[in-house]
Chains A and B, each alone.
Chain A
Amino acid sequence: GNSVTQMEGPVTLSEEAFLTINCTYTATGYPSLFWYVQYPGEGLQLLLKATKADDKGSNKGFEATYRKETTSFHLEKGSVQVSDSAVYFCALISRNSGYSTLTFGKGTMLLVSP
């Protein structure tokens, strides 16, 4: 079956620090990979995605590269802001699930202090 493993949090950083949140996956077939973000008190939002190997997804200064050889999709940002404080979820979807079911990691809380 499909599974996603991401680093446990919370990750605590100072503003302008470099961020990495690790994510690895197990899937049959060729999954599409996603990062979702949940800001305090808000619903889950798609942050970025990559649909095939070596694709790089990017949005709002965040980036993640689909690495098939290491089955990874690590999230990075060069300089975090206080407003980036949120819970980040790595997820995948695959053809063998009919592109219907997202499989999520457990989430990583990011806390950015001024």
Chain B
Amino acid sequence: GAGVSQSPSNKVTEKGKDVELRCDPISGHTALYWYRQSLGQGLEFLIYFQGNSAPDKSGLPSDRFSAERTGGSVSTLTIQRTQQEDSAVYLCASSTQGEGYNEQFFGPGTRLTVL
């Protein structure tokens, strides 16, 4: 079946502009996660959705970052007034929900470049 998909695959924007990144999780996966992969910082957790609610937003780096999920499926990560330090690969993952650990399946990522 289809895996996690993300769009766009690449996004180049100018400093100060807003961007929206999209994630389509695996069908039936109720949990969805956003991570950021930047040079020198490795992979950092941003936010976790369980259904449409986000019980853990602790990783969002500033109030310029927000995310939503509707219909328990697609999620969008929005970055307002982008800065050069926002340049990174943004990864989305999804998993089933249940007792203990449920394997997270990752999408290919969106590479964001802020000029």
Residue B84 lies at the interface, judged by CB distance under 8 Å to chain A: no
By a CB distance below 8 angstroms, the chain A residues around B40 are: 106
Residue B100 lies at the interface, judged by CB distance under 8 Å to chain A: yes
> Smallest CB-CB separation from A101: which chain B residue?
B45
Residue B102 lies at the interface, judged by CB distance under 8 Å to chain A: yes
By a CB distance below 8 angstroms, the chain B residues around A93 are: 101
Flag if B106 contacts A105 (CB, 8 Å): no
Flag if B48 contacts A105 (CB, 8 Å): no
**B-side interface size class:** 20 to 34
**A-side interface size class:** 20 to 34
How many angstroms between the C-alpha atoms of A104 and B101 in the bound complex? Answer: 15
Instruction: List, sorted by A's number, 15 A–B pairs whose CB atoms are closer than 8 Å.
Output: A42-B108, A43-B106, A43-B109, A44-B91, A44-B93, A51-B101, A99-B101, A100-B33, A101-B33, A102-B35, A104-B43, A104-B44, A105-B42, A106-B40, A106-B42
Residues of B whose CB lies within 8 Å of any CB of A are 3-4, 31, 33, 35, 40-45, 48, 50, 55-56, 59, 91, 93, 100-104, 106-109
* Given A100-B48, A102-B33, A105-B42, 5 additional A-B pairs, CB 8 A: A46-B103, A89-B43, A99-B102, A101-B48, A106-B42
